[in-house]
Amino acid sequence: MAIVFLPMPIRRRIGGEPSLVVEGATLRQIINSLEELIPGIREELIDPELDDRVIRSISAIIDGEAADMGLRTTVGENSEVHFIPAIAGGAPLRVASEGGDRSQNRNEER
């Protein structure tokens, strides 16, 4: 049983509860448990290209310490898990261009 504190955007969508109690011995299991309660959350937390860790704009903090083994990081009984914006000043992960990414724009200009 771990207490998971949800990132603000997700909290707002599920009605404001700051935390949930879920089962899981690793971060991956915790997120899988969350998926059962909040469908779609796994996709928001895990980038398929970074299969072994949460997306880079989020830090997973377990009992006050940053997860060091990605999704393999162990979570103890009664642990607290926080998903908080990464220490870096909020650079959004995906900064997509309207018409595709910037490399395409550059090609068009030529």
d(Cα 51, Cα 70) in Å, to the nearest integer?
A: 9
Mapping DSSP to helix (H, G, I), strand (E, B) and coil, where does residue 40 land? coil
As measured in angstroms, the least distance from the Cβ of 59 to other proteins is 9
Residue 83: name the closest of 55, 64, 57, 58 by CA: 58
d(Cα 94, Cα 108) in Å, to the nearest integer?
A: 21
As measured in angstroms, the least distance from the Cβ of 92 to other proteins is 5
- Residues that bind other proteins in the complex, under the rule CB under 8 A: 5, 7-13, 18, 56-57, 61, 64-68, 80, 82, 84-98, 101-103, 105-107, 109
As measured in angstroms, the least distance from the Cβ of 28 to other proteins is 17
Residue with Cβ nearer other proteins (5 or 35): 5
d(Cα 41, Cα 92) in Å, to the nearest integer?
A: 18
d(Cα 19, Cα 96) in Å, to the nearest integer?
A: 31
Residue with Cβ nearer other proteins (36 or 104): 104
As measured in angstroms, the least distance from the Cβ of 60 to other proteins is 11
Residue with Cβ nearer other proteins (33 or 58): 58
